[in-house]
Structure 1
Amino acid sequence: MTLSRYRAPLPGARTLEVFRGVESDLYRHLAEGRVGPYLRAAPRTYRRLGSARLHDGVLSIGRDGTVLAVRLADERRRSR
């Protein structure tokens, strides 16, 4: 999975974390300019990953193979 990660501090030693990206094979198709294989592979990727869950946040998987994950991190737990 090719991901970008963003963090925003919140009150109470918490942080909002957002991850976005695309499945690695799909990214490779796009990076190499192979749109046809990407369009054929994206629905298979969605079916494979569409039921995935994130235990500590919200996960959205698009039919185009993109992924968006959001979670709240408690920095007090990490420092222990």
Structure 2
Amino acid sequence: MTIHPDHKGRTDAKGIRMTHGMASDKKLKEAPDISHSRPEARADLIVKARSAMGHMDDHNWGNERNRAAEMRQLIQPLERMD
């Protein structure tokens, strides 16, 4: 699944198809609920998103485009929830 900002300044989740299937609707609903209600989970997600953003800025790994800006868009609503 991907976690992304929604139009309300919060986070939302979207399923992506992987080799071993896709997250259930229940899991897709649980992920944003956890990031909204548990400060420690939100803080962990912020740390991981910042780390990913740094790696994307430093390396880009042959991606068609640098996706660090998308990480920044995820971090901002998470920080506003504190």
Give the TM-score of the pair, scaled to structure 1: 0.33
Larger relative contact order, structure 1 or 2 (CA cutoff 8 Å, min sep 6) = 1
More strand per residue:
1
More helix by percentage: 2
